Amino acid sequence: MTARLNPADHDWMTAPATRRVMNALETAAPGGSRFVGGCVRNALLGEPVADIDIATVLEPDAAAAALEAAGIAVHPTGLAHGTITAVANHQPFEVTTLRRDVSTDGRRATVAFTTDWAEDAARRDFTINALYANEEGEILDLVGGLKDIPDRRIVFIGKPEDRIAEDYLRILRFFRFFAWYGKGEPDAAGLAACAAMTDGLSQLSAERIWMETKKLLAAPDPARAIELMAEAGVAQALYGTELKITRLSRLIELGGDEPLLRLAALLPDRGVGQIRKLKLSNEEAGRLRKLADGGLSREIEAKWPTRAELEKLVYRHGNQAIADQLFLLFAETREPPEGWGGAIGHVLSFAAPEFPVTGADLKKRGLSAGPEMGQLLRRLEEEWIESRFRLDKHTLLGRL
């Protein structure tokens, strides 16, 4: 495994914004700042790089002063843990002072700043996440992460039990990183530690569990990782229910890639029972409640497969709700009906029109507001829907 990245092959390393930030930090402390974590890992794996994190020997105040002197905006996003966010050319960079853990309680750590790269590396979670690279692309590997890159092995740094005891969310992160970057069989020691320490998951907040679950479910195919979670007892500890992994696998095969939809496929009640447990947002909760609507599900099954009927359903319930229902209905069958892809595509692309008649139109015809007007509007709307939305206002008003 090479111990070097060629900056010419990685636009994120040579971008003007990146150079501005690194030059500012290096001017203040030559040789004291390196790229770290996901950007280095993904570059070595040949995966896209999204976020750029930088580790520095400069303490937060000194790092902020160096950046501001270079005209770079700085936001104190995590000072207790030594983190500031630099924004150059409208791009954010997370800049964190080298740290060592003073104490941990399984949820959060108290840290002290250091200038020792080995101390900073030792407190991180997995070997492939503790690789550093300077501007020239030279890799600093203090925990053996380079050897795990070719085989895509997700391995805890040091003793797995120690890393997990520092933050029990690392159990879920073990499976999340396996879903995104792992290959072959999982690290046996890491998996055993996760299985043995599930009691610690009770310390985690619902928000942290959902945040990590959402990232896991966003992986291209998380089914194997979730199956391992179930076998290790982690899934039961987190979600308190058996999982529908087969249904999830079918959904993935059908192209269902949204984390919330995958959650609905994974859970026996289409996820509605997890709304409070995971503290989903109002928008997420509303979507799951629609998915769990048995009446709507039966109505869709009865209407399938005519496009006209699907358009009526979209008009009444919205594109997302009907597409979600179709995805799950097809995932629950061994073989989706012929034309299932076209049906979902049509539901997602169909732009439901707006009913052209209003109460104001009826008032102009001499009708007064009240129950009679409401009934008349509903009748006209049904006629308009049955015409597949083709009747115009003039024609509809002519039917009064």
Are 321 and 296 contacting, i.e. CB atoms less than 8 angstroms apart? yes
- For residue 140, what are its two tokens? 């600093």
Sign of the CA dihedral with 180 first, then 185, 189, and 192 last: positive
CA pair distance 62, 76, nearest whole angstrom: 12
Q: Looking at the predicted structure, is the pLDDT value of residue 287 above 90?
A: yes
- Give the per-residue pLDDT at 180: 98
- Give the per-residue pLDDT at 106: 64
Are 168 and 200 contacting, i.e. CB atoms less than 8 angstroms apart? yes
Sign of the CA dihedral with 42 first, then 43, 47, and 50 last: positive
Are 241 and 267 contacting, i.e. CB atoms less than 8 angstroms apart? yes
Closest CA to 367 of 380, 354, 355: 380
pTM: 0.91
SS3 letters for 63-109? HHHHHHHCCCEEEEEEHHHCEEEEEECCEEEEEEECEEEEEECECCE
- Give the per-residue pLDDT at 1: 55
CA pair distance 250, 253, nearest whole angstrom: 5
Strands 53-56 and 91-97: parallel
Each residue's pLDDT tens digit, 240-272: 999 999 999 999 999 999 999 999 999 999 999
Each residue's pLDDT tens digit, 78-117: 888 899 999 999 999 999 999 998 877 766 778 899 999 9
Are 39 and 22 contacting, i.e. CB atoms less than 8 angstroms apart? no
CA distances for 169 relative to 153, 189, 198, angstroms? 19, 17, 10
DSSP state of 336: P
Q: ω before 305 within 30° of 0 (cis)? A: yes
- Work out the pLDDT band at 399, boundaries 50, 70, 90: confident
Side-chain-side CA neighbours of 236 within 13 Å: the count stands at 9
- Give the per-residue pLDDT at 93: 98
Q: How many residues does the chain have?
A: 400
Listed in sequence order, the DSSP H helices in 197-293 are 206-217, 223-231, 234-239, 245-254, 259-266, 282-291
CA distances for 78 relative to 94, 96, 103, 220, angstroms? 10, 9, 17, 30
- Work out the pLDDT band at 212, boundaries 50, 70, 90: very high
DSSP state of 339: T
Each residue's pLDDT tens digit, 300-315: 887 776 889 999 999 9
* E strand or H helix that includes residue 140: strand 139-141
Domains of the chain: residue spans and CATH: 1-150 (3.30.460.10), 359-397 (no CATH)
CA distances for 149 relative to 3, 66, 160, 288, 342, angstroms? 11, 34, 18, 38, 40
Strand partners, 3: none
CA pair distance 309, 317, nearest whole angstrom: 12
